[in-house]
Amino acid sequence: MDEELIFGPPGCGKTYTLIDIVKEELGRGTPPDKIAFVSFSKKSIEEAKDRISEQTKLSLKDVPWFKTLHSTGYHWLGLNDSNMLTRADFTKLGEELGVIFDGNTARSNSDGVLLQSFNKGNQYLELIGRAAMREVSLDEEYNDNGDYQLSYSFLKKVNKVYKEYKKEYDKRDFTDMIQDFVYQGTAPSIDVLIVDEAQDLTKLQWSMIDVLKQSAKRVWYAGDDDQAIHAWNGVDVKNFMNSCSNIRILDQSYRVPMSVHSIADKIVKRIDVRQKKEWNPTTREGLVDYHMNWYDVDIDKGSWTIMARTNKIVSKIETNLRDNGYLYERFGQVSFNNEYTQFIKMWEDLCKDKPIALDMIKQFYGFVPKQGKNQVVKRGSAKTLDYLDPQSSLTYNELVANHGLVAPKSMRSEDVVNMSEDDQTYRAAILRRGEDLDKPRIKLSTIHQMKGGEDDNVILLSESCYPAVNAPNQDDEHRVFYTGVTRAKHNLHIVDSFGKYRYTI
């Protein structure tokens, strides 16, 4: 088996390099279904699938093993949605144990990362999941975690009830999909294995890689130890650094300008455990500026990402942005409901007697009020649309005559979509700023969520939190802020914190 370890510093074309490897394999006659491209990260896999679709004639069906690790386990084990734990399952478990589990954070998220929570119930599940990811006993995980406000006896009880519940109802969480894959010991027959973002794999995920590569003739591991920012999830970056002795270092960044590179270089040299590597910035000078408040930065034009260490800090910024009429995106969601914008435009077109496609009419009927003072359509009238030609279009008059539309043309579009007064005020403020309601220029994100992303302009807050600042090993904190500063393609604005806990950039 031939193996190679590729170190890809920020913006150095790691994905480009990996897709080139795939294309070279296809060129030498390797069947596409014999090539596996895996990662813990959904973002990484989606980007790889987009690239291979754009650059070759292959469809996604042709590359069935371009998947996240937990998705690989899901499909290879023959699971279906009924096997997966849901919010309702965690509600039942909480009732049985006398605690509350948040359905959004009681399991791993779509990127296979154990979400951190301040909810006590969830923290017990995190310990159970992290013990499995690290392949250590629950006792060892409890002691290593060092949070003795959590009851050890109750942890054992939660673990026992959780296991029994999953067994009784044939349910699994994301960690189980990987654990079960490892235990059963078989894998798809592949010739080539590419492991992206490998610096963030837990020990259990590395065990899964060992099973996956059994039949592989050629294996590539790719990542950047300096951007390994998931230690709290049970990741030991040394597993990545020692995965292969045959290494290649990509040394030219196509993103990071010279001024930002200078800051990044100072941060990365604080890391004790790392692969020594030199890489070059772009020829752009770029800008690094320092501020005492993030709102001192002029964000009225251009594309911006505002990043902070924790979601708590990001939430404070979000409140300020909304109060000042800025449109933004967070967690992939636009701050102003896209459906409002879509259906307001549609109502305006209807009032101008423009025909609207049937599928859009059906969505409109599902969204607008069906009773009360702002009633738009009669209850049950959407059923009359089911008998029409799917390719048909309808006008305002046709909808009034035959399909239960009762709103007069004089009705305000805000009332048609039943928009709250708060949202009406927010929308008016956004429009006064001249923003495009469909395309927010501003993204809000934690540094962890922005990993793998980039933007022309970045605002990075130096504010941190007690656990991060007081951690005995500061390598992880250096990696987090190194990752943060290297998201900037042109301009980096660093906001120094007044708070008690901060990182010095």
The answer to whether 370 and 379 are in contact (CB under 8 A) is yes
493 beta partners = 289, 459
The answer to whether 228 and 200 are in contact (CB under 8 A) is yes
pLDDT the model gives residue 103:
58
Give residue 172's region: left, alpha or beta (phi > 0; psi -120 to 50): beta
Phi and psi torsions of 138, nearest 5°: -65, -35
pLDDT the model gives residue 432:
93
Residue listed under structure tokens 């478990």: 93
The answer to whether 492 and 460 are in contact (CB under 8 A) is yes
- Nearest CA to 210 out of 126, 135, 311, 288 is that of 135
Tell me the C-alpha distance between 37 and 30, whole Å.
14
Tell me the C-alpha distance between 436 and 430, whole Å.
8
Q: 421: buried, middle or exposed (CB in 10 Å: 19+, 13-18, 0-12)?
A: exposed
Q: 180: buried, middle or exposed (CB in 10 Å: 19+, 13-18, 0-12)?
A: middle
3-state DSSP helix/strand/coil percent for the chain, to nearest 5? 45, 15, 40
Say how many CA atoms lie within 13 Å of 406 toward its Cβ: 16
In 214-326, at which residue ranges do the beta strands (DSSP E only) sit? 218-223, 247-249, 287-291, 304-308
According to DSSP, the β-strands at 66-68 and 247-249 are unpaired
pLDDT the model gives residue 104:
54
pTM of the predicted structure, to 2 decimals: 0.87
The answer to whether 476 and 267 are in contact (CB under 8 A) is no
Tokens matching residue 497: 């914190």
pLDDT the model gives residue 116:
53
According to DSSP, the β-strands at 328-330 and 333-334 are antiparallel
pLDDT the model gives residue 109:
40
The answer to whether 189 and 34 are in contact (CB under 8 A) is yes
pLDDT the model gives residue 403:
96
Tell me the C-alpha distance between 314 and 311, whole Å.
5
pLDDT per position in the chain (505 positions), as tens?
899 999 999 999 999 999 999 999 999 999 999 999 999 989 899 999 999 999 998 998 999 999 999 999 999 999 999 999 988 899 899 999 998 887 554 444 444 444 455 567 788 998 999 999 999 999 999 998 877 788 999 999 999 999 999 999 999 998 999 999 999 999 999 999 999 999 999 999 999 999 999 999 999 999 999 999 988 788 999 999 999 999 999 999 999 999 999 999 999 999 999 999 999 999 999 999 999 999 999 999 999 999 999 999 999 999 999 999 999 999 889 999 989 999 999 999 999 999 999 999 999 999 999 999 899 999 999 999 999 999 999 999 999 999 999 999 999 999 999 999 999 999 999 999 999 888 899 999 999 999 889 999 999 999 998 888 888 889 999 999 999 999 999 999 999 987 889 999 9
